A = this chain, B = another copy of it.
């Protein structure tokens, strides 16, 4: 545990914690590490589907960003257990491995609109743009007790856009 937050956990606890249908996966994965990564891939894939759906109608880059931000927040706020799982994995030593594994299953990662968006952002490593731009939506969905109005949510999304766009 000193190194990661999952060492003390049972396989069942991880599956429950991720809030995903890994109950069956349970029999397929031989180690806890594999189960954490598999659950992460599953949560990110579903988030990616919500993101792709949301940007269908968007064309201007700011629209793409704001639609993505809102879709991610709403998708995860509907199930904060999943949001907390993402935050925990991203703060753990599993982060790099989980991220790598998730890329291949994430419809959003290869989406052409994302490549266009990236070209319009400030020149920083993608992991930082993610932390500044979309990270707040995920951490907000994971947070307890902070309930924001729609106007406040728009204000946070606008703050994230200023950070990553330089505008």
Bound-state CA distance A80–B61 (Å) is 35
Size of A's binding interface in residues, CB under 8 A:
45
Min CB gap A157→B, angstroms = 11
Contact present for A1 and B1 (CB under 8 Å): yes
Contact present for B1 and A8 (CB under 8 Å): yes
Choose among A2, A91, A127 the residue with the greatest number of B CB atoms under 10 Å from its CB: A2
Q: Which of B9, B124, B146 touches A2 (beta carbons < 8 Å)?
A: B9
Bound-state CA distance A136–B162 (Å) is 15
The answer to the question of A34 belonging to the interface, with a C-beta cut-off of 8 Å to chain B, is: no
The answer to the question of A21 belonging to the interface, with a C-beta cut-off of 8 Å to chain B, is: no
The answer to the question of A98 belonging to the interface, with a C-beta cut-off of 8 Å to chain B, is: no
12 residue pairs from A and B, CB less than 8 Å apart: A1-B6, A1-B13, A2-B16, A2-B17, A5-B5, A88-B91, A122-B155, A132-B136, A132-B159, A159-B162, A162-B162, A163-B163
